[in-house]
Amino acid sequence: MKGTGFNDLVGCLRQVLAGLPDRRKGKNRSYAMEDFGVSAFSVFFTQSPSFLAYQKAMQAARGQNNAQNFFEIEEIPSDNQIRQMLDPVPPQKLYPVYDQIYDRLREHGILQTFRGVNDSTLIALDGTWYHSSQKIHCPCCSHLEHKSGEITYYHSAVTPVIVAPGQSEVIALRPEFITPQDGHTKQDCEIAASKRWLEQNATRYLDSGPVTLLGDDLYAHQPFCRRALLHGFHFLFTCKPESHSTLYQWVNLLQPGPDLGSMKLRVKVGSQWHTHIYRWANQVPLAEGDGPLKANWCELTVTDKDAKVLYHNAWITDWPITEQNVAALVAAGRARWKIENENNNTLKTKGYHLEHNFGHGRQHLSSLLAAMNILAFLFHTVLGFTDEHYRLIRAALPTRKTFFQDVRALTRYICFPSWEGLLRFMMRGLEIGPYAKAT
């Protein structure tokens, strides 16, 4: 697909990084700013902390290397040079790359396959830590004071992704970093960062049609729901009884019938039959007091053949709930877990090492490298949608981990003419695609 191949993505990244401010005062400018940025990015894309060291050794031995052939890095800077030059760069400088990828996926119709209730785009919000230490810290750190008197310094961010029921992939969007804000005495938090994300991105993502925000119980409160509606978003948030006593008092007073709908469905899961029990109510107050926001509430209980409860959860939304759409609403609400499993968990435990300290710096380095790490994950997601060779290889290998183990080993010992050359080599070895054995 035009504009979504590996070389297109790297070209987009280099173009954006070329615009980074260069604060060097002397004449020694052996490396371009984009080379510092792309060098750091290459480590995350290959999931190889030693990628640059391997390529320097390959260059010394053979006069060429994969960093140059894949990422157009003419001269590889040292790790210290990369950290020093990137520390002053805020992560927002990378956002145009996220935006261009989003636009290209929309142009090619891929985003159309990520639709949920009422044909809306589902964007899940969630906060996650990506660095913590009791010793290393910077002015951009948040902190947590323990009863023992110790202080944990940490970095965190809201990492929005597009999700959809039935889609195993997620599409990462611009993150919003949780960091001390100018003019604010209170420490920044997930909800405040999410409000900033709404303000800065409403126009961008609402241009393609309705958007439904998904979030855990933290978001299911009147101020944030009002803010979402103010910016034109719909919402569908997890709603727990212990934090919504007013709402559940109202629900418990409703009688089954027009005010409290219910429905049962039998669903086959593998060889077993489960019963899905839905309940819903419209226009229930979220809080006490005058003029409370009224939301629509729904609940799902899943039981097995012995009536044992296998799953239970509930949500609030501004979408009107009916017998015709309650199952679709619940399916959209349940898709929220993908931001934890398919995004945050993948970034932390499936090779991207989001929580590893690649470099903390004194200004923005930690958050910039986190934004690059998420962007590398997005690059691989796009290639999974648009690159047939990449998709064939990933399907032939048992796990994501195996794929990256092979990439690390191959790029350490063999110099390939291009990224596509690496993929062709892997296909020959796996005997797939155009290299499949004739039967």
Render each residue's pLDDT in the chain as its tens digit; 439 residues.
Answer: 677 899 999 999 999 999 988 877 766 667 889 999 999 999 999 999 999 999 999 999 999 999 999 999 989 999 999 999 999 999 999 999 999 999 999 999 999 989 998 999 999 999 988 777 778 878 878 888 888 888 888 888 999 999 999 888 899 999 999 987 765 557 889 999 999 999 999 999 998 899 999 999 999 999 999 999 999 999 999 999 999 999 999 999 998 888 999 999 999 988 899 999 999 999 999 988 888 899 999 999 999 999 999 999 999 999 999 999 999 999 999 998 866 666 556 665 665 565 566 777 788 998 999 999 999 999 999 999 999 999 999 999 988 889 999 999 999 999 999 999 999 999 999 999 888 876 5
Final residue belonging to a domain, choices 320, 345, 370: 345
Cβ contact 422:403 at 8 Å: no
Q: With b meaning 16 or more CB within 10 Å and e meaning fewer, what string describes 220-230?
A: bbeebbebbee
Q: Is residue 99 part of a domain?
A: no
Containing domain of residue 50, as a range? 6-91+357-435
Amino acid at the residue 327? A
Return the H-helix or E-strand segment holding 348. helix 345-349
**Do 270 and 143 sit in the same domain of this protein?**
yes
Q: Does residue 311 sit within a domain?
A: yes
Structural domain count of the chain: 2
Whether the CB-CB separation of 329 and 116 falls below 8 Å is answered with no
Q: Clarify whether residues 122 and 241 are in a common domain.
A: yes
Beta carbons of 125 and 197 less than 8 angstroms apart: yes
Structural domain contains residue 101: no
**Residue 419 located in a structural domain:** yes
Considering the domain architecture, whether residues 296 and 370 belong to the same structural domain is answered as no
292, 372: one domain: no
Per the listing, tokens 């948030």 go with 237
Indicate whether 149 and 65 sit together in one domain: no
DSSP 8-state secondary structure symbol assigned to residue 97: H
Instruction: Assess whether 264 and 291 both reside in one domain.
Output: yes
On whether residue 382 sits in a domain, the answer given is yes
- Tokens encoding 183: 């003019």
Of 345, 372, 394, which marks where a domain is finished? 345
Closest CA to 76 of 93, 86, 87, 64: 64
- Domain for residue 28, yes or no? yes
Amino acid identity of residue 17, one-letter, is L
CB atoms within 10 A of CB 302: 17
CA distance 183 to 123: 29
